[in-house]
Structure 1
Amino acid sequence: MKLGSLVAITVAVVLAFAAPLAAQERGGALKVALFPEPPMAVAGLSGLGSASIVSSKIYEALVKFDFELRPQPWLASSWEKSDDGLIWTFDLVENAKWHDGKPFTAADVVASYQVFSVENDRLKLVADKVKKVEATSEHQVRFTLKESIPSFIYMLNYGSLPIIPAHLYTGGNFRENPANSTPIGTGAFYIKEWKKGSFIHLARFNEYRDGTKPYLDDLYFVIIPDAQGCAVAFEEGSVDVVSASNLEGFDVSRLASLDGVKSTTKGWEMLAPHAFLWINTQKAPLDDVKLRQALNYGLDKNFIRDVVFAGLATPPRGAFDSRTLFFDPSVNAYEFDVEKAKALVAASTYKGELLKLSTAPVGSAWARLAEYEVQAWKEIGLNVEIDTNDVGGYLKKLGERNYDLGNIYLYQYGDPAVGVTRNFYSRNDVIGSPWNNVGRYSNPRLDELLAKADAVGDAGDRAALYAQAQKIIADDAVQGWTAELQFPTLYRAKVRDLITTALGLSDSFENVWIEK
Structure 2
Amino acid sequence: MLKFPLRFIGMLIGLMISVVGCSSDLSDNQVLTLRLGAEPSMLNPILSTDSPSSSVNGYVFSGLLKVTPELELEPDLAESYTVSADGLVYLFNLKQNIKWHDGEAFTAHDVKYTYDMILNPSTNTVRRSDYIIDGKAVEFKVLDEYTLQIRMHKPYAPLLNRLTMGIIPEHIFEVTDINTAKENQNPIGTGPYKFKQWETSQFVLLEANEAYYDEPPKIKKIIMKIIPDNNTALISFEKEEILSSGIPGKDFKRIAKNDLFNTYRYYDLAYTYLGLNCKHPLFSNKNVRKALAMSIDKRSIVDGILLGYGKPAHIPTSPEMWTYPKKPFFYDYNKKEALKILAEEGYIFDKEKNILSKDDTPVTFKIITNKGNKDRELAATLIQKNLKEIGIEVSIQLMEWSSFIAIVNEHVDPKKFDAVILGWSLGLDPDAYSLWHSREYPRGFNFVGYSNSDVDDFLVMGRKELDREERKMIYEKMYEEIAMDVPYIFLYYPESLVGLNKIIQGVSPAGPAGLLNPIENIYLIEK
Q: 2:389 matched to 1:389?
A: no
In structure 2, do the counterparts of structure 1 residues 95 and 307 end up closer, same or farther at CA, with 3 Å as the change threshold? farther
Q: 2:281 matched to 1:280?
A: no
In structure 2, do the counterparts of structure 1 residues 29 and 472 end up closer, same or farther at CA, with 3 Å as the change threshold? same
**Distance in structure 2 (CA, Å) of the matches to 1:455 and 1:474:** 23
Cα displacement (A) at 1:347: 2.5
State the partner residue of 1:485: 494
**Distance in structure 2 (CA, Å) of the matches to 1:257 and 1:136:** 58
State the partner residue of 1:364: 374
Cα displacement (A) at 1:303: 1.6
**Distance in structure 1 (CA, Å) of the matches to 2:127 and 2:253:** 35
RMSD: 2.4
- Three-state SS of the structure 1 residue aligned to 2:519 is coil
Aligned amino acid, residue 167 of structure 1: H
| Structure 2, unaligned runs of 5 or more | 1-23, 348-357
State the partner residue of 1:146: 153
Cα displacement (A) at 1:100: 0.5
Per-residue CA deviation, residues 308-355 of structure 1 (Å, 9 max, x unaligned), is: 233332211212222223222323222322222232233234423211
| Structure 1, unaligned runs of 5 or more | 1-22
State the partner residue of 1:121: 126
**Distance in structure 2 (CA, Å) of the matches to 1:72 and 1:263:** 28
Q: 2:140 matched to 1:133?
A: yes
Cα displacement (A) at 1:362: 4.0
In structure 2, do the counterparts of structure 1 residues 439 and 505 end up closer, same or farther at CA, with 3 Å as the change threshold? farther
In structure 2, do the counterparts of structure 1 residues 512 and 24 end up closer, same or farther at CA, with 3 Å as the change threshold? farther
State the partner residue of 1:260: 260
Structure 1 vs Structure 2: percent identity of aligned residues?
24
Per-residue CA deviation, residues 219-239 of structure 1 (Å, 9 max, x unaligned), is: 111222212210111111111
Q: 2:320 matched to 1:337?
A: no
State the partner residue of 2:424: 410
Cα displacement (A) at 1:133: 0.4
Does the CA contact (< 8 Å) of 2:168 and 2:189 recur in 1? yes
The counterpart of 2:217, out of the listed 214, 217, 220, is 214
Cα displacement (A) at 1:279: 1.0
Cα displacement (A) at 1:406: 0.9
Output aligned runs, 1:116-265, within 5 Å: 116-118=118-120, 119-127=124-132, 128-157=135-164, 161-170=165-174, 172-209=176-213, 213-242=216-245, 244=246, 247-265=247-265
State the partner residue of 2:9: none
The counterpart of 2:455, out of the listed 427, 446, 453, is 446
**Distance in structure 1 (CA, Å) of the matches to 2:368 and 2:459:** 29
- Three-state SS of the structure 2 residue aligned to 1:225 is coil
Per-residue CA deviation, residues 397-440 of structure 1 (Å, 9 max, x unaligned), is: 453212211111112212221xx342221111125x5xx22221
In structure 2, do the counterparts of structure 1 residues 102 and 252 end up closer, same or farther at CA, with 3 Å as the change threshold? farther
Per-residue CA deviation, residues 68-105 of structure 1 (Å, 9 max, x unaligned), is: 43212221222221121101122222232111111211
Aligned amino acid, residue 124 of structure 1: S
State the partner residue of 2:4: none
TM-score by length of 1: 0.86
Q: Which moved more, 1:257-266 or 1:445-454?
A: 257-266
Q: Which moved more, 1:111-120 or 1:231-240?
A: 111-120
State the partner residue of 1:315: 312
TM-score by length of 2: 0.85
Does the CA contact (< 8 Å) of 2:46 and 2:125 recur in 1? yes
**Distance in structure 1 (CA, Å) of the matches to 2:469 and 2:136:** 22
* Structure (1 or 2) with the greater strand fraction: 2
Q: Which moved more, 1:220-229 or 1:344-353?
A: 344-353
Aligned amino acid, residue 88 of structure 1: Y
Cα displacement (A) at 1:147: 0.7
**Distance in structure 2 (CA, Å) of the matches to 1:506 and 1:219:** 13
**Distance in structure 2 (CA, Å) of the matches to 1:217 and 1:367:** 37
Q: 2:43 matched to 1:46?
A: no
In structure 2, do the counterparts of structure 1 residues 220 and 480 end up closer, same or farther at CA, with 3 Å as the change threshold? same
State the partner residue of 2:8: none
Does the CA contact (< 8 Å) of 1:56 and 1:507 recur in 2? no
Q: 2:436 matched to 1:424?
A: yes
- Three-state SS of the structure 1 residue aligned to 2:105 is coil
**Distance in structure 2 (CA, Å) of the matches to 1:163 and 1:238:** 35
Does the CA contact (< 8 Å) of 2:292 and 2:338 recur in 1? yes
- Three-state SS of the structure 2 residue aligned to 1:91 is strand
Cα displacement (A) at 1:377: 1.0
In structure 2, do the counterparts of structure 1 residues 68 and 498 end up closer, same or farther at CA, with 3 Å as the change threshold? closer
State the partner residue of 2:414: 401
Per-residue CA deviation, residues 415-474 of structure 1 (Å, 9 max, x unaligned), is: 221xx342221111125x5xx222212122221222112212222222222222222111
In structure 2, do the counterparts of structure 1 residues 311 and 51 end up closer, same or farther at CA, with 3 Å as the change threshold? farther
- Three-state SS of the structure 1 residue aligned to 2:40 is coil
State the partner residue of 2:350: none
Q: Which moved more, 1:505-514 or 1:437-446?
A: 505-514
Aligned residue pairs: how many? 479
**Distance in structure 2 (CA, Å) of the matches to 1:416 and 1:151:** 8
**Distance in structure 2 (CA, Å) of the matches to 1:319 and 1:24:** 46
